[in-house]
Chains A and B, each alone.
Chain A
Amino acid sequence: MAFGMSQWRHRRLAALLPAYHSGELSGQKQKAVEQHLAECAACRASLQRLAQTGHLLSAARPDSPALPAERAEALFQRALAASQIRPKATVGRRIAALSLSAACLGLLLWLARPLMPAIRGVVKNSMPTGETSPLTAQSGAFPAVKQHLSHLPEKIPSQKTAGYAEASHRFSSVSGLGKRSPRRLAGSERIEPRRRMRRETSQIHESARLEVAAENAVSPIPTAQSPAAQGHLVVIMTGETTPSLHVTVTIGPQTQPGFTQVSAFRSDDQGNGAWKQCTIRDDLQAETVTTTQYQFMDGQPVACLALETRDNRPTEKGDRP
């Protein structure tokens, strides 16, 4: 703040900075703010901060995935059905319906008695203790991630460790090894493959999610028309209560051999990032690229994996770099 400027005037003009930044001011107010900015370093810093925030947020704007027409139609029909006002039942009918429901429930519970200990056993045994391998810190130049993840503990408490049964999503480019939750799987047969893939990969475990940017995942294969085409895949892993998740990245199934996966970026639980070389076998059918154990912490992403495929097939002029 310039010497001699009243605190009141400074506050008044500082309050106008957002409006000045968004170009809403004109005339005298605009001039006053400009004059003040020339004198006041604190307000210049505030304005810079304001611009930076706007830039950061605007640059991070996600493009929403397109809603397929048949899905939009289905949602319309459901919304329409749900919006219909149901005819009110009479008191007598309500009592009769409630009595019938209670009787059915009682009968069902009585019939299910022999099964109950077995069900309890299955639930108890479905989460065996697994192993986790803590990620090692590596040097890297990703301060934002480091800052963001700096609160993570060095080692995640072992009592949070859960085990997983092996499973894979062959169609998807990324699969998780975990206990899949049946949540929202109903009706998945009706949705298109790419959508189904995304749904399934996000349902690996109810307490550990794997989100996949799969826009290019099924089509990173260079073609005759664009032989140098590159595909990318970004995986963000977040966990809510599960500290680790075994992740397998799979490309395929593909019919054309000769593609080599180039690199993967990973940030570990210390926030450091490193590019890691991984290779796909040349005789691709559906080959695993890499299998890594990642650490998780409540709701926080700890790993970002970017994959790239390149066409390494020999050309007439020689091998591609």
Chain B
Amino acid sequence: MDEIAVMQILTGKVTRQEEPGWLAGARTGQQEALEQFYQDYHAQVYRLCYRLLGRSDDAEDAMQAAFVRAFRALPKFRGDCAVRTWLYRIAVNEALTLQRRRRHTPTDLPDSLPTADAALRITERIVVRETLAQMRPDQRALLVLLYWEEMSYEEIAAILEISLSAVKMRLNRARNAFQKRYEGGEG
């Protein structure tokens, strides 16, 4: 089976996804159904936006924009792929748009610290995150989806609407760019 065929199955382009119960209502704009849709996915979308943008206020803005677009686009959603994939695609696009528009360095809030001598590890994490923040938004998104959202290559391909081989190639480039920046070279 070739790559395209595998992709089509994995992304649901051949086998239609099982539709959630609220989808029919949401397509016609019923508030209860839209609320259920939001309830099911807002935490995941917020987390994704936060990881892409690094700031909670930006993550809120991107999430809201993503749901506005999703609510408007639901009547046209044909169920060719999973709802989550479709929504993540919208959220990634909104987050990248916001990032390009605002042009500030994403700086996330570090996690709470277990011990005082963890400062070196914290510093390391800060440097890694800052390195990521300085990368091109599309490369950053790839690395965030793979390493922070722990998505498979197939899921990433479906979200970004690119082929599996393109995902692999771009991820390689993104990894190299990260490594170069991290080691002090040009990205």
Contact = CB atoms under 8 A, between A and B. Distances in A.
State whether these chains interact.
Answer: yes
B178 A53 contact: yes
A250 interface: no
B56 A142 contact: no
B84 interface: no
Q: Chain B: interface secondary structure?
A: helix
Interface stretch (A1-9, A34-42, A62-70, A94-102): A62-70
Interface in A131-150: 141-142, 144-145, 147-148, 150
**Chain A: number of interface residues, binned into ranges:** 35 or more
Contact of A213 (B42, B68, B112, B182): B112
Given A58-B147, A75-B64, A304 B71 contact: no
The 8 lowest CB-CB distance pairs between A and B, nearest first, are A83-B71, A60-B128, A64-B50, A232-B113, A79-B67, A57-B147, A64-B47, A299-B105
B182 A56 contact: yes
Interface stretch (A105-113, A262-270, A287-295): A262-270
B127 A62 contact: no
Nearest to A183: B57
Interface in A265-315: 265, 267, 273, 275, 299-301, 304, 306, 308
12 contacts: A56-B124, A58-B147, A62-B148, A76-B35, A147-B184, A209-B104, A215-B111, A230-B116, A265-B119, A275-B119, A299-B104, A306-B113
Contacts of B7: none
A137 B131 CA distance: 23
Interface residues of B, number: 61
A238 B134 CA distance: 13
Interface of B: 31, 34-35, 38, 42-43, 46-47, 50-51, 54-57, 59-60, 63-64, 67-69, 71-72, 104-105, 107-113, 115-116, 119-132, 143, 147-148, 153, 168, 171-172, 175, 178-179, 182-184
Contacts of A63: 111
Interface of A: 18-19, 22, 24, 49-50, 53-54, 56-65, 67, 71-72, 75-76, 78-80, 82-83, 85, 141-142, 144-145, 147-148, 150, 184, 198-199, 202, 209, 211-216, 230, 232, 234, 236, 238, 240, 262-263, 265, 267, 273, 275, 299-301, 304, 306, 308
